[in-house]
Structure 1
Amino acid sequence: MMLDLAGGFGEKGRTSLAVSSGNDRILLDVGIKVGATGAEYYPALDGPIADIDALFVSHAHEDHVGALSWLLSRGYAGPIFMTAETRAEAPVTLAGYADPGDLKRFPFPEDRIEIFEPGDMLKSGNFTVSTGRSGHVVGGVWFAVDDGKNRVVYSADVVPDSNVFAMDVIPECDLLVLDASYGADPVPGAARAHEISDWVARHSKGCLLPTPLSGRSLELIAALPGPFVIHAGMRSSLEAQIGATASLLPGVSELLLRRLRGAADWTDADPLPAVPLLADDGMGEAGPSSRLLPRADQAGFPVLLTGHLPSGSPGDLLHKARRADWIRMPTHPTLSGNVDIWQRAGRPAALGHSCGTDALYDLKSHIPSLQAECRTGQRFMVPQGSKK
């Protein structure tokens, strides 16, 4: 089995992984890289796009699905596998991050989507693709690809210690492609959530919390210490996410629904509120937060950023100018989570995606089999059969 590291290796963004065995070739995710331009914005796919038999999408965040119209514009004609939740959210992601020309000519292809549920086993040629809940977003999954000789697990984005989402155990494998977004960060998610709660409590008279529409929004709602409002455009999506109870931890949906029902809708025509305001997206690149960040900055309205800030993004620039605070809300594994995933998977050879070079080497000091030198554009041969 051969891997083409098409994006997200030694970098954050454009996450994409091609898996080949014999005449079979599939693609796992097709993301864009926020802050990049030209070819670096898209996956570095080698070989004819038409040779890809199937595309499997883990979830609808831009760094995993934002290049879908680009892929279609270059001749991809095969099936596209995703969950119903990912299908519902992907068009909004493409509207914010796809090239407008590509999106106009190749809009979201509703008729080509093959729907599956987390836990389903899928087939493409001689590949068997197992799936499991990721703990990252509603409908998000990891993929385990087996060709009868080797098994590769691509974690996509996972959260083993989420306070909201459920994650299924990743199986033993010959190669584990880890979500290394946080490198060797040792601070657990619960501690970060408490830190965010304290910050919001200190700014309870009004503050802006930019957040992705899916995933982190529910984590923040669970952590907020008091009243809040949401941008009106978020409500239907948040209600749908809370209604997908199979993706959530037991009892969480009732808590989230109560909090959401108690939150008023806010629109761009309203004055900045005297309570915390949630608005998407998390970087200020698209959606309501692209308009709200400059407005909050001009008004001296407190801003808390809680996720990845690509260099040069509006959120990054505001933070560097010390006009916004930043506390990470863990929506990826911290150190203990990734070490546990690797140990449960049988301590296999490992790659790390969505992570810069220095942080990969930090993580390697805790996961010795991590191939920290692997980069986007390289090929990688899967070690021969040790899976159970």
Structure 2
Amino acid sequence: MTLEVELAGGFGEKGRTSVVIGHGKNRVMLDAGIKVGASGRDYYPRPLTPIDQLDAVLISHAHEDHVGALNWLLSQGFRGRILMTRETRDEAPATLEAYAEKELLVAHPFPADRIELFQPGDVLDVAGFRIYTGRSGHVVGGVWFALEYGARRVVYCADVVPDSAVFVMDAMPECDLLLLDASYGADPISGSERAQHIKKWIAARAGGCLLPTPLSGRSLELIAAMPGHFAIHASMRQHLLAQTEAVDALKPGMPQLLRARIHAALDWTDGEKLPDCPLLADDGMGRAGPSSHLIPLADAQGFPILLSGHLPTGTPGYLLHEKGRADWIRMPTHPTLSGNLAIWEGCGRPPVLGHSCGPEEIARLGETIPALQSKRRVGERLLVE
């Protein structure tokens, strides 16, 4: 039995993460992201299968590089099944509002009535595949997928965090092909070490600072690492508290700790004086949400800014960092080198492709993982036989 794997986005690049896996005439798409910083056709995935022939799309989580092309898929004639967790369904409309083309939002709004829900850990039957799911350790409701057909199995990590201090990640099964979250390439520095660097940076700025962050995932990682009192943009409070209710996604003791810290946090609203403590505001790049106006405000007032995630070229965070007016310390929300090595070994050391990573970084990761096919790029098709 043979499986076909189409690299529709995210291979040799960061963004528009998307993979199509098929057998016979059946095809399913895993994730449909957009590429922040790109324009035109390069903003969207490039599947080789015509979109109106896809049987289903399964979304791993609601970040823009995994769900941002959903409206576009609908505009291209997609009529198949749409599957995601409840948390992803609840968060996706806000992501699409920020990152989808406005005319597509109007013509092809979020199809709430078509969404089929599942829980992390469920086993799904889709287009002849048996699809295993597990908690990703990346965000509440985030999952990885393992697609099985006959004797063949492909594991798609999506975004995972093996050493998260906050979220639980389930072990992935052995497989014939592993599509690995290579977002950080061969970065050897652990999440706990980076968290200590962030604590020291914050502690050295007693007069306050701005920390742009995605609304889900990294926000809770930062809150768990916060060295003292802090403020949040008021619009974030209910969403952050809702994430702490997903106790199965969080490590023991974390729901109580996070809720206590969020309840103790100050509310900051637009128009107020910048606080004399750390201020968290979404999103992490400054392209959408409150941080889109808070970043230029903080810059104009000389208020320190710490960026802690991916900065696509041309985004406000990227431009400010390039000019030396914002600092950057990675808060790992993807696997570092040791984490990816452990994932590969746990999956039986299969052939590997890395997604969400540029050519130079993926080549360096290949020096540690010899089974990594580091030259694979968007637009290619390969067979698992």
TM-score range, shorter chain: over 0.9
1:304 paired residue number? 306
**Deviation digits for residues 341-362 of structure 1, max 9, x if unmatched?**
0001000000000000011110
Report the Cα distance in structure 2 between the residues aligned to 1:125 and 1:72, rounded to whole angstroms: 19
- Describe how 1:26-45 pairs up with structure 2 within 5 A: 26-45=28-47
Code of the aligned partner of 2:367:
S
Code of the aligned partner of 1:322:
G
- Describe how 1:2-81 pairs up with structure 2 within 5 A: 2-81=4-83
Of 244, 247, 253, which residue of structure 1 is paired with 2:249? 247
Of 197, 222, 225, which residue of structure 2 is paired with 1:223? 225
TM-aligned CA deviation for residue 204 of structure 1: 3.0
In the alignment, is the contact (CA less than 8 A) between 2:56 and 2:127 conserved in 1?
no
2:372 paired residue number? 370
TM-aligned CA deviation for residue 125 of structure 1: 2.2
Secondary structure of 1:287's match? coil
Unmatched segments (≥5 aa) in structure 2? none
**Deviation digits for residues 105-154 of structure 1, max 9, x if unmatched?**
11111101100000000011210110000000000000000111310000
**Deviation digits for residues 81-103 of structure 1, max 9, x if unmatched?**
10000001000000000000001
1:294 paired residue number? 296
- Describe how 1:204-223 pairs up with structure 2 within 5 A: 204-223=206-225
Secondary structure of 1:278's match? strand
**Deviation digits for residues 244-303 of structure 1, max 9, x if unmatched?**
011001111110010000002111121111111000000001000000110011000000
Report the Cα distance in structure 2 between the residues aligned to 1:109 and 1:294, rounded to whole angstroms: 35
2:144 paired residue number? 142
2:163 paired residue number? 161
Secondary structure of 2:221's match? helix
Ranges of 4+ aligned residues in structure 1 off by more than 3 Å: none
Report the Cα distance in structure 1 between the residues aligned to 2:206 and 2:63, rounded to whole angstroms: 29
TM-aligned CA deviation for residue 241 of structure 1: 0.5
1:275 paired residue number? 277
Secondary structure of 2:317's match? helix
Report the Cα distance in structure 2 between the residues aligned to 1:251 and 1:205, rounded to whole angstroms: 31
**Deviation digits for residues 217-268 of structure 1, max 9, x if unmatched?**
0000000100001001111110110110110011111100100000021111
Report the Cα distance in structure 2 between the residues aligned to 1:197 and 1:205, rounded to whole angstroms: 15
With normalisation by structure 1, the TM-score equals 0.98
In the alignment, is the contact (CA less than 8 A) between 2:28 and 2:127 conserved in 1?
no
User: CA RMSD for the aligned pairs?
Assistant: 0.7
Instruction: Give the percent of matched residue pairs that are identical in Structure 1 and Structure 2.
Output: 62
Report the Cα distance in structure 1 between the residues aligned to 2:297 and 2:207, rounded to whole angstroms: 17
Report the Cα distance in structure 2 between the residues aligned to 1:154 and 1:204, rounded to whole angstroms: 43
TM-aligned CA deviation for residue 79 of structure 1: 1.4
- Describe how 1:164-243 pairs up with structure 2 within 5 A: 164-243=166-245
2:263 paired residue number? 261
Report the Cα distance in structure 2 between the residues aligned to 1:125 and 1:26, rounded to whole angstroms: 7
2:360 paired residue number? 358
2:341 paired residue number? 339
Report the Cα distance in structure 2 between the residues aligned to 1:124 and 1:252, rounded to whole angstroms: 34
Count matched residues: 383
Code of the aligned partner of 2:14:
K
TM-aligned CA deviation for residue 17 of structure 1: 0.3
